[in-house]
Amino acid sequence: MGRIVGIGVDVVDLARFERALDRTPRLRERLFSDAEGAGLPVRSLAGRFAAKEAFIKALGAADGLSWHDMQVVTDEAGNPDLMVSGRAAEIVAERGIASLHVSMSHDAGVAIAFVVAES
């Protein structure tokens, strides 16, 4: 079993996030890849955004990261996972992170995500 390298959590207000998406039409494509954000409801997008923010907190660094360097994907059972590339993958390698654990939920007007980075 590895050791915990970092932990991150983030909460997103669904109404506020929806207003931001409405105000800035290009925000969706800036935050999410086509495959990642296609056809998802606001609550799911907010959860994915929270997961990206929680991932950055678990890394302890955001220098040079692009929102597209981290993608929230789901497996066949619907369980979330993080795929990293670019600068995010470099930081993961530099910190000796072997696995990332992601949990997301939404209820009562908020979305929350929790990320644990393990060596």
pLDDT at 95: 93
**Domain harbouring 110, CATH code:** 3.90.470.20
| pTM across the whole model | 0.94
Domain enclosing residue 64, as ranges:
4-118
pLDDT in tens, 22-72: 999 899 999 999 888 888 999 999 999 999 999 999 999 778 999 999 999
Judge whether 106 counts as a catalytic residue: yes
For the chain, what is the HEC assignment?
Answer: CCCEEEEEEEEEEHHHHHHHHHHCCCHHHHHCCHHHHCCCCHHHHHHHHHHHHHHHHHHCCCCCCCHHHEEEEECCCCCEEEEECHHHHHHHHHCCCCEEEEEEEEECCEEEEEEEEEC
Scanning the structure block, which residue is given the tokens 């050791």?
A: 3
pLDDT at 96: 95
Judge whether 68 counts as a catalytic residue: no
Domain count, the chain: 1
